[in-house]
Structure 1
Amino acid sequence: MAPLTRRRKNALAAAPPAPVIDPADRISKLPEEIQAQVLSFLPAQEAVRTCVLARTWRHVWKFTRRLLITGDSVQEVREFVDLLLINFASLDASEIRFDPCEEFDDDDDIDPYLDDEDTSSLNRWISRVLECQIQMLWVDIDARGYFDAYLHMSNRLLVSRHLTRLELTGVLFICRCLNLDGCPALEHLEINECCLEDVRKITSLSLKHLVITSCESNDARNRIQICVPRLVSLLWLGNIDVMTPLLERMPELVEAKFQINSYRDKCYCDDPMACYHITQDGDTSDIDSDSDDGEEGSGDYAGQNTTKCVVLEGLAQARDLVLLADRPTFIFKRDLRWCPTFSMLKTLVLTQVYWCEPADCSVLECMLEHAPLLEKLTLTLKKEPRDGKYKVEIKGYPDAKVKSTKISQHLQIVKIICEDVNGIFFNVLNFLGTLNLCFETRVTKK
Structure 2
Amino acid sequence: MKFCDINVRKISSRSLKRLSIIDCQSDLNYQVRVCTPCLISLELDNFSGRAPFLKNMVLLETARVDLGSSCEDFCVNYDDFGVFCEDNDNGCDNCVAYNGGNNKSVLLGGISNAIHMELISQCDIFVFTRDLKRCPTFSKLKTLLLNEYWCVAPDLDPLACILKNSPVLEKLTLQLFYTGGDHIEMKGSCSSMERSSAISEHLNIVEVKFHKIDKRVHKVLKFLCTFNIRFSFE
Same fold (TM > 0.5): yes
Question: What is the CA–CA distance in structure 1 between the aligned matches of 2:124 and 2:133, rounded to whole Å?
Answer: 14
193, 196, 200: which is aligned to 2:3?
Answer: 193
Query: Equivalent residues in 2 for 1:319-334 (5 A)?
Result: 319-334=115-130
Provide closer, same or farther for how the CA distance between residues 328 and 370 of structure 1 changes in structure 2, counting only shifts above 3 A: farther
- Tell me, in whole angstroms, the C-alpha distance in 2 between the residues paired with 1:363 and 1:417: 18
C-alpha change, 1:421 and 1:267, in structure 2 (3 Å) is closer
Give, in angstroms, the shift of residue 306 of structure 1.
3.2
Q: Give the corresponding residue for 1:252.
A: 59
**Displacement after TM superposition at 1:263 (Å):** 4.0
Q: Secondary structure at the match of 1:342?
A: coil
Out of 216, 223, 227, the position equivalent to 1:431 is: 223
Which residue pairs with 1:377 in the alignment?
172
* Helix, strand or coil at the partner of 1:333: helix
Deviation at 1:392, TM superposition (A): 1.4
**3-state DSSP class of the match of 1:334?**
helix
Larger radius of gyration: 1
Q: Distance in 2 between matches of 1:245 and 1:378?
A: 25
Shift in Å, 1:405: 1.3
1:197-346 alignment, distance < 5 Å: 198-219=7-28, 221-239=29-47, 241-261=48-68, 262-266=70-74, 273-274=86-87, 281=97, 306-346=102-142
Give the conservation status (yes or no) of the 8 Å contact 1:399–1:438: no
Instruction: Give 1:384 shift.
Output: 2.7
- Please give the residue correspondences for 1:20-169 in structure 2 after superposition, counting only pairs within 5 Å: none
Q: Is the 8 A contact 2:74 2:124 kept in 1?
A: no
Q: CA deviation at 1:363?
A: 1.0
Letter of the structure 2 residue corresponding to residue 274 of structure 1: D
| Alignment pair present for 1:394 and 2:186 | yes
Q: Which amino acid aligns with 1:323?
A: L
Following superposition, the deviation at residue 365 of structure 1 comes to 0.6
Note the residue ranges of structure 2 that are not aligned, 5 or more in a row: 77-83, 89-93
Q: Determine if contact 1:223/1:279 at 8 Å carries over to the other structure.
A: no
Q: Does 1:363 align with 2:158?
A: yes
> What are the superposed Cα offsets for residues 112-156 of structure 1, whole Å, 9 maximum, x if unpaired?
xxxxxxxxxxxxxxxxxxxxxxxxxxxxxxxxxxxxxxxxxxxxx
CA apart distance, 1:331: 0.7
Deviation digits for residues 47-68 of structure 1 (CA, Å, limit 9, x no counterpart)? xxxxxxxxxxxxxxxxxxxxxx
Q: Following TM superposition, by how much is the alpha carbon of 1:267 offset from its aligned partner in structure 2, in angstroms?
A: 7.8
Q: Distance in 2 between matches of 1:254 and 1:399?
A: 28
Structure 1 alignment gaps of length 5 or more = 1-190, 284-302
1:267, 1:281 within 8 Å by CA — same for their partners in 2? no
1:406 alignment partner, one of 191, 194, 198: 198
Partner of 1:161: none
Aligned pairs, how many? 221
Partner deviation per Cα, 1:339-385 (whole Å, 9 max, x = no partner): 0000000000113x111112521111111000000000011111333
What letter is aligned with 1:195? D
2:109 match: secondary structure: helix
Where has structure 1 moved over 2 Å in runs of 4 or more? 216-219, 271-275, 278-283, 383-386
CA distance in 1, matches of 2:191, 2:115: 24
In structure 1, C-alpha distance between the alignment counterparts of 2:86 and 2:66, rounded to whole Å:
21
Greater relative CO, 1 or 2 (CA 8 Å, sep 6+): 2
Preserved contact between residue 195 and residue 215 of structure 1 (Cα < 8 Å): yes
Structure 2 length-normalised TM: 0.86
Matches of 1:229 and 1:205 in 2, distance apart? 6
| Per-residue deviation, 1:417 | 1.3
Distance in 1 separating the partners of 2:71 and 2:222: 31
Q: Note closer, same or farther for the CA distance 1:280–1:252 as it changes in structure 2 (3 Å cut).
A: farther
Residue 280 of structure 1, CA deviation: 6.1
User: Aligned residues: percent identity?
Assistant: 36
1:238–1:244 CA contact under 8 A, matched in 2: no
1:242 offset after TM fit, Å?
Answer: 2.0
Judging by fraction of residues, say which structure has more helix: 1
User: 2:73, 2:127 within 8 Å by CA — same for their partners in 1?
Assistant: yes
Question: Structure 1's 421 and 367: CA in aligned 2 closer, same or farther, altered over 3 A?
Answer: same
Deviation, 1:424, is: 1.3
Alpha-carbon deviations, 1:402-441, whole Å to 9, x = none? Answer: 2101100111110111122112111111100101012111
Q: Aligned letter for 1:355?
A: W
User: In structure 1, how many angstroms separate the alpha carbons of the residues matched to 2:16 and 2:179?
Assistant: 33
Task: Tell whether 2:208 aligns with 1:416.
Answer: yes
SS in 1 for 2:134: coil
Measured on the aligned residues, the alpha-carbon RMSD in Å equals: 2.3
